[in-house]
Amino acid sequence: MSVSKRLEFGGHALVWAGDWSADGARAAISGAARSGYDYVEIALLDPWKVDTAMTRDLLAEYGVRAHASLGLSPTTDVTSTDKSIIAKGDELLRKATDVLHELGGTELCGVLYCSLQKYPGPASKENRANSVAAMQRLSDYAADKGINVNFEVVNRYETNIMNTGIEGLKFLEEVNRPNTYVHLDTYHMNIEEDGMAKSVLAAGDKLGFVHIGESHRGYLGSGNVDFDTFFDALKKINYQGPITFESFSSAVVDPALSNALCVWRNLWSDSDDLASTALKFMKERI
């Protein structure tokens, strides 16, 4: 069964830190607290490296909650036709779920259903069926731990499974689990959607997680995302769920991850100013 959601604001850990060492975790959690956020979104790219006891202590120290996200790689791609690769994907997703549960979090989000990459062609029926089956396994595993699973809809250069919220809802129907939701991200929506309201309104109470990012990943309001229309749509559906501010700079993010995210230019250097400005921007609109 699904866990009840609440409207809350969070900052992505990569706004403050590029790793999850003791110093990185403290920088991210304390930064989220200083900037006024309710939670920090931790990128569980390698959940085996997360010291859960240390993280729990820091969350308690700063009075911040945690949710988590990740994306799969070619070696863990659950759309694969190679059963050994699917098994590695299942293992990674279960471990991430375990870590989130140990941290007291209830929301797992991101590109959980495929590798985060530019695919050479469209997904085959087998690729899609493998993805759906893997998400059913993940959702069942997460449900036993009181965790919701949110499938992030991203642009065509990062997945061939679903690129719009309407496609995300179709995928959700195929997975058919009560603790699964669509996860929309304004950065990706700005590339793929027919405006910023259609998919929000179509999703309604099946919209479970939101990422707020500008078109160039910098300060909100300084690019070309139509945030007013997006937040108006959230209000129309009475959205109740997490809203994470997400922005990347190679001055903060690990170089390998910066390359994967194509962060070729830095639009900010002051994490706290960026984050606090973003929170004010979002709260003014919802």
Kindly write down the DSSP assignment for every residue of 83-99, as one continuous string: HHHHHHHHHHHHHHHHH
Greatest alpha-carbon pair distance for the chain in Å reads 48
Residues 6+ apart with CB under 8 A from 25: 17, 51, 54, 55, 58
φ, ψ for residue 247, nearest 5 deg: -155, 150
φ, ψ for residue 71, nearest 5 deg: -130, 150
Q: 233-248 burial by CB neighbour count: b if 16+ within 10 A, else e?
A: bbeebebebbbbbbbb
From 67, 96, 70, 71, select the one nearest 9 (Cα to Cα).
67
Q: Which residues are catalytic?
A: 152, 246
d(CA 236, CA 230): 10
Strand-pair partners of 212 = 245
d(CA 175, CA 266): 38
d(CA 71, CA 76): 9
Number of neighbouring beta carbons within 10 Å of residue 176? 11
Strand-pair partners of 209 = 183
d(CA 104, CA 235): 28
Alpha carbon 140 to its chain's center: 19
